[in-house]
Structure formats: structure tokens, C-alpha cells
Amino acid sequence: MKGRKTVILMAALCLSVVLFAGQAAAAGYSRYILPVRDGGTAYVFTTHGRPGLGLLLRDLYGNGGVPWDVILRCCKPAPRPLPVPKPEPQPEPQPEPEPQPEPRPDPKPDPKPDPKPEPKPDPEPNGMTAKEQEMLKLVNQERAKLGLNPLEPDMELVKLARMKAQDMIDNGYFAHQSPTYGSPFDMMRAAGITYRTAGENLAGAGSVERAHTALMNSDGHRRNILNSAYDHAGIGIIEGGPYGLMCVQMFTGQ
């Protein structure tokens, strides 16, 4: 404790020296660390040039007792602590965003080929159905047996024959006189068909051949089929009615 008190006392003494010296010149000062007799340490503060340092040392150590060898060896300005540079604040590392997978475009459906239109059956020659053509063929075969000219199909007559067959099915009758259109000659004149002579055959049967056979077995109907004055015919056959097929034959001659 004695050594510690000496240190404090000497430090206070040195501090007073500094204060007096500082009044003469308000300049910087130096600090010195000196050993004293009792083993303590003295801190000496003095202005540059060390004014009055010799008197101060004699007061501390007494006349003739100044340890110059020690003082000269250690009486050096204490190094000033260098300022410790403060570390510059580093920005906190920010977590890098996790890479997001790039959105893939929605798969486009494979283009479907345009549907090809279903092939339509070839129209019948002259616009007549197969059954109508079959009946006209049978008629011309009968005419050929007698050396008569074949009948040419007339599509206007074909349309009228179909209308008559459908009208008989719809209205439930079987006769040359139609409650809707009148006689076959009325129908021809209304359609603008001109003729020198004309006729009509009607037949109801389950097939074309049976209808043709029935017509050929009837004298009046057979005479129409084999009439040499006729040169055109229209055959109309509609499925339906009490017989299965309703057949109408219209003939004209110019």
C-alpha cells in the first residue's frame, strides 16, 4: 500500500507542475514514467523542452541522489496509444433468393387434323333412284321386244310422279284423281309440261319386279307401257303405304 500511495502522491505533484507550466504556454505536454526510491513509480508531465526538469528531479531524489543512469535510460516519453481504428460496419449478408424455376409454357395440344367430309354417294344418273331406274329399265326391255323406241327419262315428270306417290301415301288413297293436285294432266299443265299425248300408271307392291309384273298383266297398263306414241317417261317410287312401295309412271309424247 505504501508504494501505491507514493505513486498517487507523486502523480499529484507532477500534475500540479503541469498545471503551472500550462499557464505559461498553452501547448502540448509529455508524460514520463520515473522510478523512485521506495520502489514506486512517478509520472512526470512537462511541456516540450522540459523546463525546470532538473529542479524537479532534485526535489524528488534529493541533492546528489538523482540516479541519472536510470533516468537517462528510462526517461523517455511514454508512447502515446495509437487510436484503434474502429471496424467499419459491414452490411449484414443478405440471403440470396433461391432461384425459382422458370415457368414452363403450358403444353399446346397437338393440332387435330380437320375432319375430312364423309364422301357422299354419287348421285344417280339423271337424278333417279336405283328403284326408279330399275323400273324404267324393265319398261324399255318390254318395248324393245316389240321393236319400240326406249323412253327417255324426263326429270320434270319424275318430280310429278314422286309428288303423286307421296300424296297417295299421305292421304290414304289409290286413284288417278288426287284430292290435292287433281288429275295427272292437271299436274303436268300446272308444271308447264307440254305434250301431244300423255298417260299414267299406278302400282303398289313390295318390290319393283312385282309392281312391273302386275302392270304388264293389266291390259290398260300394258298398253301405256307399249304405246309407240310415247317418247318420255317419269318414274316416281316412294317407300311407304299399305303395299310397301308406291309406284307412279307418267308418260308423254310430242
Mean pLDDT check: name the lowest of 44-48, 119-123, 128-132, 160-164.
Answer: 119-123
Residue 158: its pLDDT value, please? 98
Within-domain flag for 184: yes
Q: 80-122: per-residue pLDDT in tens?
A: 666 666 767 666 666 666 666 665 656 566 666 665 555 444 4
Residues above pLDDT 70, as percent of the chain: 51
Q: Phi/psi at 131 (nearest 5 deg)?
A: -65, -40
Residue 133: its pLDDT value, please? 98
Residue 171 above 80 pLDDT?
Answer: yes
Within-domain flag for 93: no
Within-domain flag for 48: no
Residue 176: its pLDDT value, please? 97
Within-domain flag for 200: yes
Residue 53 above 50 pLDDT?
Answer: yes
Q: 7-28: per-residue pLDDT in tens?
A: 333 333 333 333 333 333 334 5
Residue 99: its pLDDT value, please? 60
Q: Phi/psi at 141 (nearest 5 deg)?
A: -65, -40
Q: Are strands 232-239 and 245-253 parallel, antiparallel or unpaired?
A: antiparallel
Choose the most confident range, by mean pLDDT, from 38-42, 101-105, 216-220. 216-220
Distance CA 219, CA 216 (A): 7
Within-domain flag for 138: yes
Residues above pLDDT 90, as percent of the chain: 50
Within-domain flag for 188: yes
Residue range(s) defining the domain that contains residue 197: 130-253
CATH code of 212's domain: 3.40.33.10
The letter for the amino acid at 202 is: L
Cell 387435330 -> residue: 112
Domain count along the chain? 1
CB-hemisphere CA count at 13 Å for 38? 12
Residue 19: its pLDDT value, please? 33
- In the predicted model, what is the mean pLDDT of residues 59-73? 58
Helix 130-145 to helix 208-216 angle, to the nearest 10 degrees? Answer: 30
Residue 97: its pLDDT value, please? 61
Within-domain flag for 154: yes
Residue 47: strand pairing partners: 29
Within-domain flag for 49: no
Averaged pLDDT score across all residues of the chain: 76
pTM exceeds 0.75: no
